Structure 1
Amino acid sequence: MSANLYRFKYDEYGNTKEIIVYASGAPARSCSYINKGTAFSLEERSSLNLDAMLPPGVRNLDDQLETTRVKVQEKVGDIEKYIFIRALFNRNATLAHALIKSDIDTYAKIIYTPTVGYAVQRYSSMFRQANGLHFYPGNIDRAEDILRRFAHRDIRVAVVTDNHGILGLGDQGAGGIAACLGKLMLYTQGAGIAPWHCLPISLDVGTDNEKLLADKQYLGWPQRRLKGEEYLSFIGRFVRAFRNVFPNALCQWEDFSPKIAFSINDAFCDELISFNDDIQGTGAVAAAALLSAMKIKEESLIDQRFLIHGAGCGGIGIAEQLTRNLKDRGLSEEEACQRIFIVDSGGLITRHKENDFHKKKFAKDKGLHPWIADLDPVDIPGIIREAGITVLIGTTGQDYFFNDDTVAEIKKNTDRPVILPLFHHVLAPELFCQNIGKWSEKGILIATGNPCSTSEMLESAYGISQCNNALIFPGVVLGILASGANEVLPEFFTVAAEQASALLSPEQLEEGNLMPPLRDIRAVAKKIALAVAMCAVEKGINRPCVYSDFQPGDDQARMARLIDKIRWKPEYLSLVPM
């Protein structure tokens, strides 16, 4: 979309109040932010030279929504629905978001997980229209000039991927940008960040996916992935360009491979306002579910023993967040880590074998746990028995971890075990989906990750929540933007977890729910945003906010008002022809 077609006019809070339109006729309709379709008023049709380019009937947004919902229902299969909604967004962003908002529970599964996983894999064959930016070795030296083309959109959040660890599917090359597009739609739904302030970015450093390299239709950079210094230099050039063009925007790292994700997140946290949702968002949403479980069990986190399957971004992110929660309750870091056991592809992580840096502090020593010496490192029931495990968390799907044997063993340690199957792989084993209702009836507290293909089986099951990162990251980022925080603190995710859990009513807790429903995404984001913003003010890392007259020292009510005022709603804006 060319910048010379339109200009946004903001109110005192930085929310868009109208669009100044320089284009007329077909070019005006070609911009998805301007286009209203049949909802253009007669006056707008005249002033924008749209006379005779539309049928005479005028429909409002509600009328359009009714028609659009019918069209979506007529599509066969979720991938066809995904294609329709993406095409609608490219034509009319407001109508697309109004549609999603009308039934977020249903449409979130289409625009993001699990359906987006198929869109990622079929990106080249399904390609219809470019969205966002694709940097690769051929253009990375021009990154700053390229980013400046988007300056007119006042970018406030970018979701950036190197396409290496997409949704548990691994290296998906250029298709990874589809996951960024989906996540940004949830930012708009939850945080109310207008779609024009969002930017998906693919850092296409090549692919080692043999299938993609052999595909003549593949649209990405068809070379092996950059490694070592070449890779780091590429990322560094992007970071410098982004910081120079959008110094106040937030950069969310998305779907990097575990070894790279931790180093990238740490390396550039002082240069960009940035975080990694796979690490920190996953940690926070799991912590929120566990805080709710403790209210139901009437126990403390300190009294629990945790077993996490998966030592990637999600697993270590959860372990790190749990460590912070336990330290907040009086434990030392060493004491906290000793309560957290992690299993990776080689079994239980122990100190007698070599571990990546991010795993080391959770590695167990046979001096403190003598049973380690004689136990098979993949004997999950044995680990549960010897370590006294009361909480099972899975970030990767394997039959040997979530099954009747492990559930029977954990029941010996506590009357109400907590089980969080949080893996995201669209092809993951579905055994847990088939058994989870049965386990719930036995008093086990359960929250699942993003839906699997049999998730409909769970919708009527007693007390089973969806433990979705979308209940965390929109609120965190909204709070950062509202406060003008100049960095992302670990404390933001701690307060986010506390606030998400606090939103559950006594009745919901009584029913065994560990998380609010996804349909409450806007309410959850608002509550989290306020807590994050006030945390930033308390820590003294906020900067004078460009959106209002809010200053440090103002009370919480004024910050809450600011948060309300900066949130965009999917409603048609006034158009001012020029």
Structure 2
Amino acid sequence: MGSYHQWFAPWKSRLFECLQISKSVAMIWIDLSTSYHCNRTMEEQTVRVLTNFQKRSNDLDRFIYLISLQDRNEKLFYKVLSENVEEMMPIVYTPTVGQACEHYGIVFRRPRGLFISINDKGHIYDILCNWPERNVKAIVVTDGERILGLGDLGVYGMGIPVGKLSLYTALGGIHPAKCLPILLDVGTNNKKLHADPLYIGRQKGRITGAEYDELVDEFMHAVQRRYGSTCLIQFEDFANHNAFRFLDKYRNKYCTFNDDIQGTAAVGAAGIFASLRITGKKLIDNVFLFQGAGGANTGIAQLLSLAMQEEGATEAEANSKIWMVDIGGLLTKGRPAGDIEGHKAVFAKDFKHMNNLEEMVDEIKPTAIIGASAVPGAFTDRIIKAMGKYNERPIIFALSNPTSKAECSAEQAYALTEGRCMFASGSPFPSYNMNGKTLHPGQGNNAYIFPGVALGVITCGLRHIPDLLFLRAAQRLAELVTDDHLAEGRVYPPLSDIQEVSFKIAVDLAQYCYSNGLASAYPEPENKAEYIRSFMYTLEYESFEPETWEWPGSA
């Protein structure tokens, strides 16, 4: 014991000196920071952020600036984003997030989410336990195989879950600490990334088959075990061959949905519902031609069919109004057996096979064409003119992301139909002036749907999410499009209204969930709006009284 005191004694006085110095430095820092922050309100800080944001020379630099702000002052980031949605959402999400994912090795500053590798198989629950937040309510997960229309970007796809969950907070009011972005790293088949020295993931080909399925199974079970059966798991940008089967596999076991299928379906259907107020047609009186038969378009088609059935049509009658085109051409029953995957087989027609989209439009004469094929320019001038010829008010939706993949531009659609078309796109297009009238193209962005759905699902404690919930969200979104919006060419509310849109969708879904026995949060709140508001993240700084603060023990 004596030797211990002899060793410690020389350091004892020095330790107390260090503590005193630390106390003095801390007090100086507190004085300075208090003085600075007390004289800089959030509004003044917002001006500084906007000035810096606008000085950036390109959108990728603006993206980097905003995620850096998110790292150092999360509340200010969400305040600025929520108050400048129209200007900033295209930066933190589509289309700029696609560019950021392509350059993620350069953009990467710090991990804002959780990377789970195939090498972690057998230990996923332990990894989740290492995440500091114990009460996660919402997870967005991807394996990076089909990022937007850009293909396999592997772990560079992490920008998508991070961006999605940023909108959960900015648009849906879900507390950022309750959100967890996750990327499942099973490798990549992108040869460029195998040779990329900045790539931060597994530089090998993708794991497939049983080993891949076992990883996803373990992940789903680990999430439920760690965070409970009401933790929302949103699947994002999985390849179609996995997206549909995982949705079918997990939808009745977990609180989960696939945004590329169901979120896109809801926002696409909402645009159609709103457009019908202009065309004057009933849903069943339309003929829909879908360019692309992947998750997005198949989801829209399924939801439109469900809506027609709710209006009294049989399933066969509803499906007869929907024509689909994939890489093999028009979906027809005469195509080789096994050529048409199960999720789109119900839309195959007993009709002659065709490969030319222009000829299909002339033959079928659709009232609406909807593109989500990531084939830029698929809607040619001839197709757009034909739509204007066959319809007084044609519906033209070019939904592929990012902008470079759009089937046509808003300018093309308006100019070639003399401003008569109802147009929507996946990524934003500028307004178009025709004959003195300004037309505002609708952006069929899933952000109109998933934040509100997530807010309703989380606050009501849903354990499963039926398709009818997305149909209800689509119908509510269409109801929020006013006559003035339609007169301006909009089929969606302005992006500046999107926070209130998300809130109203959540309230409507809460009413639906409690009325149909889907909610598990009890007792049922009498005032659903007030109940949901009580859960929402505040964008103002907490109020403190720094002048009353004292260093512990200084009295």
SS of the residue corresponding to residue 515 of structure 2 reads helix
> What's the CA shift for 1:404?
2.1
Q: What is the identity, as a one-letter code, of the residue corresponding to 1:564?
A: R
1:567 to 536, 547, 555: 536
- 8 Å CA contact 1:402–1:432 kept in 2: the answer is no
User: Are 2:453 and 2:509, in contact at CA under 8 Å, matched by a contact in 1?
Assistant: yes
Correspondence for 2:182? 201
Q: In structure 2, what is the Cα distance between the partners aligned to 1:341 and 1:61? A: 52
Distance change in 2, residues 1:335/1:560 (3 Å): same
Per-residue deviation, 1:99: 1.1
Structure 1, 351-360 or 301-310: larger mean CA deviation:
351-360
Alignment CA distance shift 1:128-1:538 (3 Å): same
| Equivalent in the alignment of 2:298 | 316
Deviation track 1:52-80 (CA, whole Å, cap 9, x = no partner) reads 46774631111111111111111110100
Which of 39, 60, 66 is matched with 2:41 structurally?
Answer: 60
Matched, 1:525 2:502: yes
Matched, 1:365 2:350: yes
SS in 2 for 1:569: coil
Give the partner amino acid of 2:359. G
Q: 2:310 aligns with which of 328, 334, 337?
A: 328
| CA 1:344–1:574: 2 relative to 1, 3 Å | same
Q: Distance in 2 between matches of 1:356 and 1:575?
A: 60
In the TM superposition, what whole-angstrom CA distance separates every residue of 1:489-526 from its partner, at most 9, and x where no partner exists? 11111111111111122222233321111111111111
What do the CA deviations read for 1:68-115 (whole angstroms, capped 9, x no partner)? Answer: 111111111010010010011011100111111121001001000111
C-alpha contact 2:384 2:413 (8 A) present in aligned 1: no
Matches within 5 A, 1:87-236: 87-150=68-131, 152-236=133-217
Which of 236, 243, 252 pairs up with 2:234?
252
Q: Structure 2 CA distance, aligned partners of 1:157 and 1:468?
A: 20
Q: Report the AA paired with residue 220 of structure 1.
A: G
Q: Distance in 2 between matches of 1:425 and 1:513?
A: 20
Q: Which residue of 1 aligns with 2:319?
A: 337
Counterpart code for 1:202: L
Percent pairwise identity: 33
Instruction: Give the SS at the match of 2:397.
Output: strand
Aligned match for 2:430, one of 444, 456, 465:
456
1:380 to 357, 379, 388: 357
8 Å contact from structure 2 (residues 400, 407) kept in 1: no
- Which range moved further: 352-361 or 506-515? 506-515
Q: CA separation in 1, counterparts of 2:255 and 2:208?
A: 25
Return the alpha-carbon distance in structure 2 between the equivalents of residues 162 and 138 of structure 1.
14
**2:121 counterpart letter in structure 1:** I
CA contact (8 A) 1:189 1:521 kept: no
Tell me the number of residue pairs that the alignment of Structure 1 and Structure 2 aligns: 516
How much is the aligned-residue C-alpha RMSD, in angstroms?
A: 2.3
Is structure 2 residue 423 aligned with structure 1 residue 446?
yes
Asked whether the 8 Å contact 1:173–1:206 carries over to 2, the reply is yes
Q: Which residue of 2 aligns with 1:369?
A: none
Following superposition, the deviation at residue 392 of structure 1 comes to: 0.5
State the 1:278 CA deviation: 0.4
Q: 1:554-576: CA deviations, max 9, x gaps?
A: 54xx1111112111132113579
Q: Of residues 500, 506, 509 in structure 1, which corresponds to 2:483?
A: 506
Instruction: Report Cα offsets for 1:326-356 as digits up to 9, x if no partner.
Output: 1111111111111100111111111222211
Task: For 1:10-89, list aligned pairs within 5 A.
Answer: 50-52=30-32, 56=36, 58=38, 59-89=40-70
- Work out which of the residue numbers 239, 246, 250 in structure 2 matches 1:264: 246
Secondary structure of 2:141's partner?
A: strand
Work out whether residues 414 and 421 of structure 2, in 8 Å CA contact, stay in contact via their aligned partners in 1: no
Structure 1 CA distance for aligned equivalents of residues 312 and 249 of structure 2:
30
Matched, 1:242 2:223: yes
- Aligned pairs for 1:418-457 within 5 A: 418-428=395-405, 431-439=408-416, 441-451=418-428, 455-456=429-430
Q: Are the equivalent residues in 1 in contact too, given 2:507–2:528 (CA < 8 A)?
A: yes
Question: Residue type matched to 2:30 in 1?
Answer: L
Which letter maps to 1:536? C
8 Å Cα contact 1:243/1:271 also seen in 2:
no
In structure 1, the partner of 2:443 is 466
CA contact 1:380–1:400 (8 Å) conserved in 2: no
SS of 1:166 mapped into structure 2: coil
Instruction: Determine if contact 1:483/1:534 at 8 Å carries over to the other structure.
Output: no
- Consecutive unaligned residues of structure 2, counting only runs of 5 or more, are 1-18
Deviates more, 1:379-388 or 1:119-128: 379-388
TM-score by length of 2: 0.88
Matched AA of 2:197: K
CA shift, 1:461, in A, is: 4.3
- Alpha-carbon offset, residue 386 of structure 1: 2.5
Moved over 6 A (4+): 575-578
Which residue in 1 is equivalent to 2:4? Answer: none
SS at match of 1:131: coil
8 Å contact from structure 1 (residues 117, 426) kept in 2: no
Structure 1 residue 398 displacement after superposition? 3.3
Which structure ranks higher in relative contact order (CA pairs < 8 Å, sequence separation ≥ 6)?
A: 1
Give SS of 1:128's match. Answer: coil
User: Structure 1: how far apart are the matches of 2:260 and 2:195?
Assistant: 30
| Structure 1 residues 204 and 419: CA distance shift in structure 2, 3 A | same
Contact 1:160 1:180 in 2 (8 A): yes
Please say which structure displays the higher CA radius of gyration.
Answer: 2
By how many angstroms is 1:189 displaced? 1.4
Q: What displacement does 1:149 show?
A: 2.8
Shift of 1:49: 6.5
Q: Deviations over 1:358-396 (max 9, x none)?
A: 111111113xxxxx25xxx22223322332310010002
Aligned to 2:219, the other structure's residue is in SS state helix
Q: Deviations over 1:229-286 (max 9, x none)?
A: 0110111111111110111210000000011100111111233200001000111111
- Taking the aligned partners of 1:153 and 1:263, their CA distance within structure 2 comes to 30
Q: Output the TM-score relative to the length of structure 1.
A: 0.85
Q: Distance in 2 between matches of 1:542 and 1:456?
A: 41
Code of the aligned partner of 1:450:
S
Q: Say if 1:156 and 1:249, in contact at 8 Å, map to a contact too.
A: yes
